[in-house]
Amino acid sequence: MPQNPTTIVDELGIALSNLADAATGAFTPTLRLGVTGLSRSGKTIFITALVHNLLTGGRLPGFAPLAEGRFIGAKLAEYPDATIPRFAYEQHLEALSGKTPTWPESTRRISQLRIVLKFQSKNWYSGMTGPSTLNLDIVDYPGEWLLDLPLLGLSFAEWSAEALERARRPGSGKEAGPFLDLLGSIDPHKDANDPDAERLAAAFTDYLRRSREHGALSTLPPGRFLLPGDLEGSPALTFAPLPPPQQAVRSNSLHAMLEHRYEAYKDLVVRPFFRDHFARLDRQIVLVDTLRALNAGPAAVADLETALTAVLGCFRQGETNPLLRPFMRKIDRILFAATKADHVHHTSHDRLEAILNRLVANAAKRARFAGAEARPIALAGIRATREGTIVEAGETLPTIIGTPIAGEKLDGVTYDGKTEIALFPGDLPERPDSLFEDGTPVALNFLRFTPPQKLDRNANGDVVLPHIRFDRALDYLLGDWLA
């Protein structure tokens, strides 16, 4: 029986916060955009591109408020929660537009940002009072932490069973071996002691870290074991999965201690994270790095699907009863985005979207059933490549042109991060299901590219970030709030 992710006290707190928002929102409404994605799916890039494009009125022909000339401007504002660091937009932009452009480093801590948008409404009654404003709140966080959300619904026994089943799979034998050996040598029914707990936790963390390095995707919770932040070494992070008890569990046994710590982890770490940042969203974009999973093969693709379905199951999606709206906020629109669409030729975008549809099919079905709108899109927040064609042996190949990141390999060639190449990454399969089957190896190789080397500047001297369908994504997510 899955547990409820929140307690009754949390629910009260959420309802009160919503009520407070509704009261202040009578003058300036606040739109909370949930940027969701596992680690390295492009959250930071998406947010940086979003902020920059809105601040500078970038090249967004498909973003209706801007294209219709109703969008007046945007500015960064103080975020109401003073304890959380601000999203380092300026540093990220500098990294992207500097002399040697690099992608921002992967996110290691949580950060927030509020943008105030000013626009002229199309409605005659809002339009009469002059320009309207809208606060847009965004949170950036390490994608690893997202994997913790499904834990809220799992007890220690359920989580242990799931984690050990995964560790004992034939594929993960090399990474999980030391941990399983240690687990076998420790009797969980003996008296609780810290050294054993620490050794188990260390071995488990080591297994998680190694499986992330070798496999393409980390679908292994708890996420804070990999990126602990301030909590490193604290009891709440010192536990590990245990096999089901053979006898009654004594209250002072190791098993009881670890179970207690698991519950503490959920209560003190995961639940506040969920309550403060994910329980009160209005719109959601789910970023999926399909290409990295495709590179890694069928097992990684299946893992990605499982992780996405589990994570998205935690969000509150659907229609809100108009009467309950002051107390309740639900996600009424979800955009599923296959990021890094610039790493394939535009003729393959349809197939990319088909693969994305297959990956998020369960999550999308659930969202639609709840009454939320959902849509797939292939996008690139920042476009790093150009397109070209090449004729080889009488065959015309659509290629993408860009500079691969130093260390990327193809056909035994390792690139140094300076040579520009034209890459034909292989045909995406016409039938998305074939990616889940082990039998047919799909010949695909997507290289990672450096950010665009030369960026245009607009009349004000601001950098114009090239993108693919980013304007349509914005229009879908924000357009009707700016109507």
Partner 1 sequence: MKRPVARPTSNEPQSVEASRVPRAFAPAKVEIAEPEFDVETDETLVAPAPRRTGWVGRLAWTAGGILVSAGLGLAADRLVRDLFAANEWLGWLGLGVLAVFLLALLLLAAREIVALRRLRVLDALKREAALATADNDAGKARRVVDSLLALYAGRPDLAQTRQTVADNLPHLFDGDAMIALTERSLMAPLDARAKALTAASARRVALVTAVSPRALVDIAFVIYESIRLAGAIAALYGARPGLFGFWRLIGAVLAHLAVTGGLVLTDGVVEQLVGQGLAAKLSARLGEGVVNGLMTVRVGIAAMRVVRPLPFETQPQPVVRDFIPELTKLTGDAVK
For residue 222, whether the previous peptide bond is cis, meaning omega lies within 30 degrees of 0, is: yes
CB of 126 to partner 1, least distance (A): 16
> CB of residue 54 vs partner 1: minimum separation in angstroms?
17
Minimum distance between the CB of residue 445 and partner 1, rounded to whole angstroms?
Answer: 4
Region 325-354 residues binding partner 1, contact defined as CB under 8 A = 346, 349
388 in contact with partner 1 (CB under 8 A): yes
**Which whole-number Å values give the CA distances from 88 to 105, 140, 304, in the listed order?**
11, 10, 28
With CB under 8 A as the contact rule, the residue among 1, 8, 27, 61 that binds partner 1 is 61
Which of 78, 392, 433, 438 touches partner 1 by CB under 8 A?
Answer: 392
Residue 386 touching partner 1 (CB under 8 A): yes
Closest CB to partner 1 among residues 289, 471? 471
Please give the Cα distance from 145 to 274 (Å, whole number).
Answer: 10
Q: According to CB under 8 A, which residues from 449 to 478 bind partner 1?
A: 466-469, 471-472
Interface residue with partner 1, options 47, 293, 423, 435 (CB under 8 A): 423
195 binds partner 1 (CB under 8 A): no
Residue 287, strand partner residues: 37, 337
Choose between 87 and 446: whose C-beta lies nearer to partner 1.
Answer: 446
DSSP symbols for 34-74 = EEEE-TTSSHHHHHHHHHHHHHHT-S-TT-HHHHTT-EEEE
Find the binder of partner 1 among 19, 20, 23, 67 (CB under 8 A). 67
Among residues 373 and 427, whose Cβ is nearest to partner 1?
Answer: 427
* 264 versus 464: smaller Cβ distance to partner 1: 464
Q: Which residues contact 394 (CB under 8 A, 6 or more apart)?
A: none
Query: CA-CA distances (angstroms) from residue 216 to 112, 301, 445?
Result: 28, 9, 13
Cβ atoms of residues 52 and 93 within 8 Å: yes
Which residue, 75, 70, 68, is CA-closest to 127? 70
Q: What are the angstrom distances between the C-alpha of 455 and each of 58, 63, 149, 296? A: 12, 21, 38, 32
Name 23's Cβ contacts closer than 8 Å, sequence gap at least 6: none
Segment near partner 1 (CB under 8 A); pick from 62-70, 93-101, 158-166, 254-262: 62-70
For 383-402, the DSSP string reads ---EEEEEEETTEEEEEEEE
Stretch of 75-83, 244-252, 310-318, 389-397 lying at the interface with partner 1 (CB under 8 A): 389-397
| Contact residue for partner 1 among 395, 438, 459, 460 (CB under 8 A) | 395
Q: Is 143 in the site for partner 1 (CB under 8 A)?
A: no
Give me the count of residues in the chain.
483
Binding site for partner 1 (CB under 8 A): 59, 61-62, 64, 67-68, 346, 349, 386-392, 395, 397, 399, 401, 410-411, 413, 419-427, 429-431, 434, 442-445, 447, 466-469, 471-472
